[in-house]
Structure 1
C-alpha cells in the first residue's frame, strides 16, 4: 500500500475563523445526500477531521470543509463541515468560506456584480449571493438556518460563578445566550482566556441540569455553544451593532462572532419584539471583525415562531497548498482515513483547476 498521499487545500478565513477547504485528494464518499456522506465521514473516516485539525497539520481553532459533488440538481457543489466538536450540519463562517472557495477555484465562474448560486450543506440547500468587483469577491451573503428561542431568561447557579440568567436559541446548534455585562466582561481580546473558562463552566452547568430537543431533528446532543452578548448600539434606523463572542469547545473561542451565533441573536431580538423585516444586526468580534445578520421574516413551526435570516461577511484566501500525508510518520494515524485517500490526488469531479 502506498504510504504517502496528498490532499489539496485552499485555506481561507471569515472574520478570523480559518476554514481549510479540501479541494482534492479524497475519494468519493458513499451516500445519497451530503447529509448521508457526512454521516459516513463521521462514523467511518473521522481521521480526516483529526488529521487536519490537530498536530502536526493544524490546530483545534480551525475548521475543515470537504468539497463533495452535490446530490441536489440545483446545487453547484456540496460541502461537509468538520470542527473540533464534530460535524455541525451548518455553519455561517464555513459557508462564507466555502462559497468564496468555489468562486476562486472556478467551480462557479466569477461574474462581475451580484451572482447567485446554491450549495448543498448537510442541513440542505443554501442560497448564496456573492458580490464581485474587479474579479474580487468582496462579500458573500448566505442563508442562516431558521432559528428560534427554546428557552427565555432561565436562571442557573454555576459553580464558581453564582447565579446568572440565560436564554437558549437553536440556529444550527443549541446556543446559550448570556449577557456579557452581567458577568463583568467588556468583550475585549485580553479577556479571551477568561471568557473561554467562564463559558465552559456555564455550558457544563446547563448540560448537567437539562437537555434540549429540536422540533423536527429531535435530540441533537448536549448544548455545546455559548454566545456572549455585549451592549447594543443603534447605528441607524433598523441597524444595531453589538460586541459578541462565541464559545464552541473547551478552550476554544471563535475568532469571528460566528454566523450561527448571529442568527441566534436575531432570534432573541425577534422574541423580544425588537425586529421588523429588513432590520440588521452587526456582531463585532474580539478581533474587531464583523458579520451582519439580516432579519427577513418568520414562519410558524409547531410551538415556535421561527426566524428567517441571512448572514453577510467576507472571506479571504490565505493559502493554496498540498498537504503530504506520510502514513509511516509516528505522528500521523492513517488508520481512520486511509480508505478515503485517493492516489489520484484530485479525485472529486468538481471542475477544480489544479494549476
Structure 2
C-alpha cells in the first residue's frame, strides 16, 4: 500500500507518496509544482556590467541563471559581497527589462532572484556549485539554492 503525504512548501503543494508494508516504509515518490524554462539566452543591460545573457526559469518561483565568470567571479572563491552585488544588479535589470508571465497566476509572474553558477552544465561529471541571491539580497548556498 501507499500513503499520500501533503507537504506545504513556499513554492506550493508537494505531494509525496510513501510505500509501506508490515509497518515499514519503503520507496517514496513525489509530485512537485510545475517547473519550466521561461526564456533562454535573454540579453539584458546590467548596470556596471553591460550586456549580459541569462536564462530564466520557474520552479516555484522565477529565477535568472548566469555564469559568475561573466562578472569575473568564482562562486567558490570570490567574496560573497561581490557575488551578491553582481546577482542583485542582474535581478534589477531583468525586473526593469523583461516581462515575465506565469501560465496560471499573474501573482507569480515576478523574478524572485538570480542564481550565479560555476559554469558547469547538467552533464558535468563533477559536482556543480552556485549561489542563489533572492528577495532583498538574501543568500542561499544550499544544494537547492
Sort the TM-score into its range (normalised by shorter chain): 0.7 to 0.9
Partner Cα distance (1:222, 1:197) in 2: 20
Query: Contact conserved, 2:13 with 2:32, CA < 8 A, in 1?
Result: no
**In the superposition, relative to structure 1, how do residues 224 and 78 fare at CA in structure 2: closer, same or farther (>3 Å)?**
closer
Deviations 1:297-325 (A, max 9, x none): xxxxxxxxxxxxxxxxxxxxxxxxxxxxx
- The CA RMSD measured in Å over matched residues stands at 2.7
Aligned to 1:147: 35
Q: Give ranges in structure 2 of 5+ residues lacking alignment.
A: 19-27
Give the gaps of 5 or more residues in structure 1.
1-72, 82-87, 91-122, 130-139, 262-355
Correspondence for 1:127 among 11, 16, 26: 16
8 Å CA contact 2:41, 2:55 repeated in 1: yes
The answer to whether 1:74 aligns with 2:41 is no
Deviations 1:49-97 (A, max 9, x none): xxxxxxxxxxxxxxxxxxxxxxxx933x654x5xxxxxx3x2xxxxxxx
Superposed CA deviations along residues 108-165 of structure 1, whole A, max 9, x for unmatched, are xxxxxxxxxxxxxxx2242267xxxxxxxxxx98655332111110111111121110
**Does the CA-based 8 Å contact 1:246-1:257 persist in structure 2?**
no
Asked if structure 1 preserves the Cα contact closer than 8 Å seen for 2:112 and 2:134, the reply is: yes
Query: In the aligned structure 1, how far is the partner of 2:43 from the partner of 2:58?
Result: 18
CA gap of 1:177–1:144, structure 2 versus 1, over 3 A, is farther
The 2-side partners of 1:158 and 1:218 are apart by 25
Quote the Cα distance in structure 2 between the aligned partners of 1:180 and 1:257: 17
What is the TM-score with the length of structure 2 in the denominator?
0.75
- Larger mean CA deviation between 182-191 and 155-164 belongs to 182-191
Kindly state the Cα deviation for residue 222 of structure 1 after the two structures are TM-superposed. Answer: 2.3
Q: Structure 1: how far apart are the matches of 2:78 and 2:29?
A: 30
CA contact (8 A) 1:211 1:223 kept: no
TM-score (ref. length: structure 1):
0.33
Question: How many pairs were matched up?
Answer: 132
Q: Which has the larger radius of gyration?
A: 1
1:253 aligns with 2:139: yes
Distance, in Å, in 1 between the alignment partners of 2:75 and 2:14 is: 34
- Pair 197,128 (structure 1): closer, same or farther in 2 beyond 3 Å: farther
Per the alignment, residue 100 of structure 1 pairs with: none
